Structure 1
């Protein structure tokens, strides 16, 4: 957010304040004050003007400036009502040299998940991509996927949802199927992309798609989805997005803390799993996750460390 715009917001939030007072405080012209006020109104801020001056009566439900204001993390937010893919837009920004930018959208029309699977992204969700340039080796990039999953799980739990993490990149809500067996209903998915050399990352993009204020019936039934609306009712997407970004920012600054935090919310650990990997199928008990994000599976004959693959939770042997 432009520095002067942010200072105007701060003043109006503490208002009322008159135009002349605001112009003097910010050392700008009264015309500049008026332009900033009108720009804020266009972005959805309810700026009221009375005899005692300007004051913000309400914040917009969503949007770039709305999320940036009060955000305790150093991200610039680029907002789109609709965009084909926030990750694709973030890649464009990465090629242009941007850093610490969040591409946020109300709707995606061409969202994709892992293995290029289609990801339904209707209006009302939280679809975002974080572009960052960490000074870490390329081998550490998977930790950012784990960090994003923890951030979403924590924000969802603060909202009252029993969110858990399924390896490698899903935030889920536990449920049962028609037979009474436990199933994971997907609340959010994460797609991390990276460019760089072996010893140094050039950039990392962490795409996060969250079924927020969306009806479960508006999502593909075969996905067995969960939504925040379906679990606890509509949430304040502005505040929810801020919490996700703040938690992610804290975790990216301390990657060694990511794996212990991930274990705390993991639903995969302790489960019997089947993992389809590039080298073949691995079946056994998921016993641990190792930095920067590998799943450790006990097959009964050996412990296999899986760095990438599709993971399916199986029913325990004998059921």
Structure 2
């Protein structure tokens, strides 16, 4: 979105404005205002005009300018109808010197998750990558992965789905909770308080995070935080063991507002490590669970997940004491 378009929308959000007033405010010609208004209309912004001037009537459901409009975070949005991978595009932009950039795609043809697993990314989901340049040593980068999981979970819960985080970054919904709710997508409530997912139930994956970086021993050159969220997708378009916001709610979510909430929460957390850990613990499904973790070194650790500590290390209580796991693939175990 150009600076002029952004300024026009900001002013029209406060009420109708004449072309002359907009031109005076922005120190451009009336013809420039008309040109930018027409460009916004081509992006599906509904802007009506009459003798009193221009009025913003409606905002498109999705798209780069739509997400940028009203976003309370210092990110620039780059939108693509289709791309191979938003993470790959973000890496290219990083090589060009970009920062605080968010690549969003309607569809990915080469989406991937952790350990190079394929991630189905059809139209209707939320596929995005955040490019930042944090002034932090590489050892602290796992905190950004936790912050992304918290940001997604916050938006998911506010949409009406009671989800939680499996260490380190998978956002899950309990299938048993859905069964108890009659599979209607509505939250169970007790005294007006949403019931958390049953920790003993079958869990379905709603979203995941893939973080990639480049740097040296003492500094990070750039960091890309990729997010894949099954938003407005039908169950038959999802891999086994997955769910979507549409499936849970029985209706679509406003993806524009959802993405804005994710980005704003991530921005709010990214410079506050202590609060990231506090929020992650509050949202975690893993803590207190029996888990099996395949570590990055190839070992298997089985025990009770008891805590997470800076910068995202999982503490597992085993028969031989507490194991600290910095990276690995975590599985929640059912009770025997």
* Class of the TM-score when normalised by the shorter of the 2 chains: over 0.9
The answer to whether residue 260 in structure 2 is matched with residue 251 in structure 1 is no
- 1:103-182 to 2 correspondence within 5 Å? 103-176=103-176, 182=201
Note the residue ranges of structure 2 that are not aligned, 5 or more in a row.
Answer: 180-197
Q: So what's the TM-score if we normalise by structure 2?
A: 0.91
Give distance in 2, aligned partners of 1:27 and 1:53: 17
Q: Say which is worse superposed, 21-30 or 263-272, in terms of deviation.
A: 21-30
Deviating more after overlay: 42-51 vs 163-172? 42-51
The answer for the alignment partner of 1:204 in structure 2 is 223
1:9-158 alignment to 2 at 5 Å?
9-158=9-158
Decide whether the 8 Å contact of 1:104 with 1:127 is kept in 2: yes
* C-alpha distance in structure 1 between counterparts of 2:143 and 2:50, whole Å: 51
1:39-83 Cα offsets, whole Å, 9 max, x none, are 111111011112221111100100111111111100000001111
Aligned to 1:282: 301
Structure 1, 293-302 or 242-251: larger mean CA deviation:
293-302
**C-alpha distance in structure 2 between counterparts of 1:40 and 1:88, whole Å:** 28
SS of aligned partner of 2:175: strand
Structure 2 CA distance for aligned equivalents of residues 122 and 267 of structure 1? 27
Q: Does 1:265 align with 2:283?
A: yes
Superposed CA deviations along residues 99-152 of structure 1, whole A, max 9, x for unmatched, are 000001111111000010000111111110000000000000110000000000
Query: Which runs of structure 2 are paired with 1:300-311 in the superposition (5 Å)?
Result: 300-311=319-330
- Give the CA deviation at 1:168: 1.6
**TM-score of the superposition, structure 1-length normalised?**
0.95
Deviations 1:233-278 (A, max 9, x none): 2111111100000000011021221111100010011111111112
**In 2, Cα distance between the equivalents of 1:307 and 1:240?**
30
1:230 is matched with 247
Deviations 1:269-301 (CA, angstroms, capped at 9, x unpaired): 111111111241111111111111111111111
Q: Which runs of 5+ in 1 are unaligned?
A: none
Aligned length: 314
C-alpha displacement at 1:12, in angstroms?
2.2
Tell me the C-alpha RMSD between the 2 structures: 1.5
Aligned residue for 2:280, secondary structure, equals helix
Partner of 2:183: none
Partner of 2:3 in structure 1? 3
Distance in 1 separating the partners of 2:77 and 2:243: 26
1:241 corresponds to which of 252, 259, 278: 259
Residue 176 of structure 1 and its aligned partner are, at CA, apart by: 3.0
- Tell me the alpha carbon deviations over residues 173-203 of structure 1, each in whole angstroms, 9 at most, x when there is no partner: 112399x961221010000001111211111
Q: CA deviation at 1:15?
A: 3.2
Q: Output the CA distance in 2 between the equivalents of 1:143 and 1:14.
A: 38
Question: Within 2, Cα distance between the matches of 1:72 and 1:65?
Answer: 14
Pick the aligned partner of 1:195 from 214, 225, 234: 214
Ranges of 4+ aligned residues in structure 1 off by more than 4 Å: none
3-state SS, counterpart of residue 21 of structure 1: helix
